[in-house]
């Protein structure tokens, strides 16, 4: 019957049948009610995350390190790739594209025009330009105008071990504009020093840096790695009420004799995932996150050794997919010690 209808239209109006079929299909879709977005209509118990980070075709950094673990933990995750590279920049060469601020905003407008801009969490990682970072701040405002309870988890990726990875002008933007609107910050030692303007050479320095960052905005701060006298620590702090001192803790982390890519991105994703499941126990969330990450790193080292490669001779791509059980149901082997 449809074929006869198409022939009739084609004969009388000299319009190609394929074009008529597309018009009929389009009209039917327009007249029919649009199906609901199930992540909005039937939201998960965990949340819906917008993750703005880098992306590589091969390997696990940025969104490639963050999206899969969050999905394993039950989150709906929508990634926006701030860059799309063939591989991470530690290789001899790489090729790809960089998203600019206007292109980011175009994506946000597209989501908004279709009523798709409701998120419970925003996650950001590496950002390479001031203009893009300023657009991210506009995204934060837009998302909070739709959901005032949005949790913004920011990994202020700027550098490590005294080396800056980003243009110097980004530091002040993070310090003056991003920190005040973040819900949780996950800097490393060097980044915490940049944000506070203070050196961290002791546990007490780490704790004071957390307090300084609390005073600027975020209620949760996790300095993911502090190297003190050859010992590696995580220092976390949760300021639950403005009039109270924060609950602070540390986790001693064993050093794995290798260098990995994507671990900071993964750690922040795990902290988001578990801190949302344990909103009043940041120390518990950090215990699980650290235990997951350490199991993954050990598996990565073991697999490289099995392949006949010395893991201490080069940076290693993490074994993310192979470690999914350690992400979903980790054995918690690293315990937090609360400060008095």
Positions marked active-site: 265
Beta-bridged to residue 97, according to DSSP, are 84
Q: Does residue 280 sit in helix, strand or coil?
A: coil
Helix (H) or strand (E) run with residue 225 in it: strand 220-228
Rg (CA), the chain: 23
Q: How far apart are CA 220 and CA 223, in angstroms?
A: 10
The string of DSSP codes covering 144-166 is HHH-TT-EEEE----EETTEE-S
Number of other CB atoms surrounding residue 248 within 10 Å = 22
| β-pairing verdict for 121-124 and 247-253 | unpaired
Nearest to 117 by CA among 193, 39, 54, 171: 39
CA–CA distances in Å: residue 75 to residues 40, 72, 94, 232, 276: 12, 7, 31, 30, 10
Contacts (Cβ under 8 Å, ≥6 apart) of 307: none
* Tokens describing residue 195: 């944000």
Q: How far apart are CA 322 and CA 69, in angstroms?
A: 12
* Tokens describing residue 328: 């979903």
| β-pairing verdict for 247-253 and 231-238 | antiparallel
* Tokens describing residue 100: 């600019």
Instruction: Provide the sign of the torsion angle of the four alpha carbons 52, 58, 61, 66, taken in this order.
Output: positive
Instruction: Provide the sign of the torsion angle of the four alpha carbons 277, 290, 281, 331, taken in this order.
Output: positive
Instruction: Check if the beta carbon of residue 294 is closer than 8 Å to that of residue 254.
Output: yes
Q: How far apart are CA 261 and CA 327, in angstroms?
A: 17
């Amino acid at each position: 019957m449809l074929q006869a209808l198409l022939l009739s239209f084609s004969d009388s109006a000299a319009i190609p049948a394929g074009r008529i079929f597309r018009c009929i299909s389009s009209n039917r879709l327009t007249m029919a009610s649009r199906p609901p977005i199930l992540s909005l209509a039937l939201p998960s118990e965990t949340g819906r995350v917008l993750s703005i980070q880098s992306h590589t075709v091969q390997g696990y950094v940025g969104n490639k390190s963050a999206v899969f673990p969050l999905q394993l933990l039950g989150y709906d995750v929508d990634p926006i790739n701030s860059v799309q590279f063939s591989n991470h920049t530690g290789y001899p060469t790489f090729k790809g594209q960089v998203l600019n601020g206007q292109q980011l905003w175009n994506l946000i407008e597209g989501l908004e025009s279709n009523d798709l801009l409701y998120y419970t969490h925003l996650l950001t990682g590496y950002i390479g330009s001031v203009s893009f970072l300023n657009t991210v701040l506009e995204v934060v405002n837009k998302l909070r105008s739709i959901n005032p309870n949005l949790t913004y988890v920011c990994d202020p990726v700027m550098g490590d071990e005294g080396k800056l990875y980003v243009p110097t002008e980004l530091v002040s933007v993070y310090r003056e504009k991003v920190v005040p609107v973040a819900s949780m910050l996950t800097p490393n030692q060097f980044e915490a020093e940049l944000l506070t303007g203070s050196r961290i050479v002791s546990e007490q320095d780490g704790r004071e840096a957390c307090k300084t960052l609390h005073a600027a905005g975020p209620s949760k701060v996790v300095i993911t790695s502090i190297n003190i006298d050859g010992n590696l620590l995580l220092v976390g702090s949760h300021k639950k009420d403005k009039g109270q001192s924060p609950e602070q803790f540390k986790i001693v982390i064993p050093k794995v004799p290798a260098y990995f890519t994507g671990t900071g991105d993964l750690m922040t994703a795990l902290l988001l995932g578990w801190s949302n499941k344990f909103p009043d126990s940041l120390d518990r969330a950090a215990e699980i996150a650290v235990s997951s990450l350490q199991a993954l790193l050990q598996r990565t080292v073991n697999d490289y050794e099995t392949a006949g490669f010395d893991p201490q001779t080069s940076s290693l791509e993490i074994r993310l997919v192979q470690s999914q059980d350690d992400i979903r149901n980790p054995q918690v082997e690293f315990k937090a010690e609360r400060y008095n």
